[in-house]
């Protein structure tokens, strides 16, 4: 079992829909949970990070973490064609001395 | 633009050769991370340097090595290259904490 599982998709939805992207993980030591967006052949772009369990909202994006279930989600409201990209979840134990553990990414397509 | 720069953008070389990838972190960031992204493995953490010192190691092969210089730029050296080393190599930087990492545009390495 991989440390972080993420459905690769593709996930195709119409413009304006609410998108739900998810990851599950096995390492209970993870404390920080990140979402990155990656356009084709570009570097990952940090969208938001969350510490421990709870919700965090930033514009059209909402991140949720449920540590008891080892399950994290990213919701995108009013999706736009420009949101079409690969979304990567990432996790860290924190503390300053570790790299991020990534899911393999979900390819999202927003149809105009 | 994340503020992290990487050179070169593309590199084509033959098996058995040695290459050096270069990264300059965002202004003020002391930590540099190296990641490898391939289709089958996803984004994998290789190594972290903080202010010139190695801080954490991930799935880095013995044929690979890195260093961080006094001006905080970093180099990743890949030697005895194999076809399987063909991948995107990303550099990221952060402040003291490891969870808020900003990625560069990457170097695409092709080994023929």
Mean pLDDT, range B12-35, rounded to an integer: 97
Measured between beta carbons, the chain B residues lying within 8 angstroms of A88 are 43
The pLDDT tens digits for A53-72 are: 889 999 999 999 999 999 99
Q: What is the pLDDT of residues B69-80, one digit of tens each?
A: 999 999 999 999
**pLDDT for position A74:** 98
Q: Give the nearest chain B residue to A5 (CA atoms).
A: B42
Query: Strands B31-38 and A71-76: what pairing?
Result: unpaired
pLDDT at B41 over 90: no
Give the chain B residue nearest A37 (alpha carbons): B103
Mean pLDDT of chain A: 94
A76 HSE (CA, 13 A, CB side): 25
- Give the residue-averaged pLDDT of A38-62: 93
* pLDDT interval class at A1 (50, 70, 90): low
User: For residue B104, which residues of chain A lie inside 8 Å, CB to CB?
Assistant: 43
User: Which pLDDT does position B39 carry in this prediction?
Assistant: 85
Which has the closest alpha carbon to B74: B26, B20, B112, B23? B23
Q: What is the mean pLDDT of chain B?
A: 95
In this structure, are residues A63 and A74 in contact, taking their beta carbons and an 8 Å threshold?
A: yes
Hey, what are A16's tokens?
């304006």
Dig out the tokens for B73 from the structure: 């730029």
* Chain B nearest C-alpha distance from A5 (Å): 11
Check CB contact of B56 with chain A, cutoff 8 Å.
Answer: yes
Chain B partners of A87 at a C-beta cutoff of 8 Å? none
């Amino acid at each position: 079992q991989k440390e972080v599982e993420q459905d690769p998709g593709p996930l195709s939805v119409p413009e304006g829909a609410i998108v739900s992207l998810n990851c599950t993980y096995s390492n209970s030591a993870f404390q920080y949970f990140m979402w990155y967006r990656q356009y084709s052949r570009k570097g990952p772009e940090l969208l938001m990070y969350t510490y421990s369990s709870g919700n965090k909202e930033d514009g059209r994006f909402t991140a949720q973490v449920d540590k008891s279930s080892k399950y994290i989600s990213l919701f995108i409201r009013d999706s736009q064609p420009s949101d079409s990209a690969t979304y990567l979840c990432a996790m860290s134990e924190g503390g300053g001395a570790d790299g991020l553990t990534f899911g393999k990414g979900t390819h999202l397509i927003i149809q105009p | 633009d994340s503020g992290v720069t990487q050179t070169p953008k593309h590199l084509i070389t033959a098996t058995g050769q040695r290459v050096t990838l270069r990264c300059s972190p965002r202004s003020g960031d002391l930590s540099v991370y190296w990641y490898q992204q391939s289709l089958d493995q996803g984004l994998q953490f290789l190594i972290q340097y903080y202010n010139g010192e190695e801080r954490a190691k991930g799935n880095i092969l013995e044929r690979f090595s890195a260093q961080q210089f006094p001006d905080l730029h970093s180099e990743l050296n890949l030697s005895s290259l194999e076809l399987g080393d063909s991948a995107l190599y990303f550099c990221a930087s952060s402040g003291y904490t490891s969870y808020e990492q900003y990625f560069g545009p990457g170097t695409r390495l092709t080994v023929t």
